[in-house]
Structure 1
Amino acid sequence: MAVKFILSDYVEQATAQAVYDKLEDGTFAGKIPACKGVIAFGSTLRECEDELRSTLEDWILLGLKLGHSLPVINNIDLNKEPTLESMDTL
């Protein structure tokens, strides 16, 4: 049986939609259009990618804590109430 990590999958799918721009000063800016307010900057593309991922993770956790509606990305819906399964299924 394959193990699924929904939060990890969500982060991976969202970062795959990231858009990056090289700025006039040679630094980079990145954003994820589906996730309003998720933007990051870095002196290199790699640094910008890492910062964007971290920003996205914080944005998701804060959104969940505050009960905000998060965008559904590639059919991954983090807005659903979690269901508990019995310990017998483990």
Structure 2
Amino acid sequence: MAVKFILSDYVEQALRQATYDKLEDNSFVGRIPSCHGVIAFGETLRECEYEVQSVFEDWLFLGLKLGHHLPIISGIDLNQELKRESISTM
């Protein structure tokens, strides 16, 4: 898989791993198993899918900001050290 947009591709691949279950009250729960703590609920499957994406994006941005080790998803590794170059080299 050629990575063009690293964050977009990471989100897309993570969401493909999401699992959903119907609960006894007919609502839904969704998780991304490789991303500990990403869990969401919804009255409908569509609402649950939306909530999983929202929770995951918040989880991802907070993890990036705090420097947490993030899971490698479909070969996409966001844990690499950023290389900083001076603006004059551009």
Closer, same or farther in 2 for the Cα pair 1:9/1:3, shift >3 Å?
A: closer
Give the AA of the match of 2:10.
Y
Q: Name the TM-score, length of structure 1 as normaliser.
A: 0.88
The runs of at least 4 aligned residues of structure 1 exceeding 6 Å deviation read none
1:84 CA displacement: 5.3
Percent identity reads: 70
Q: Does 1:51 align with 2:26?
A: no
After superposition, the C-alpha distances for 1:6-44 in whole angstroms (9 at most, x for unaligned) are 000000000000010000000000000000000000000
Could you tell me which runs of 5 or more consecutive residues in structure 2 were left unpaired when the two chains were aligned. Answer: none
Q: Residues 4-83 of structure 1: matches in 2 within 5 Å? A: 4-83=4-83
Report the Cα distance in structure 2 between the residues aligned to 1:12 and 1:70, rounded to whole angstroms.
15
Residues 3 and 9 of structure 2 are in contact (CA less than 8 Å); yes or no, is this contact kept in structure 1? no
Q: Please, what TM-score do these two structures have when normalized by structure 2?
A: 0.88
Distance in 2, Cα, partners of 1:67 & 1:3 = 22
Q: CA RMSD in A?
A: 1.8
In structure 1, what is the Cα distance between the partners aligned to 2:47 and 2:56?
Answer: 14
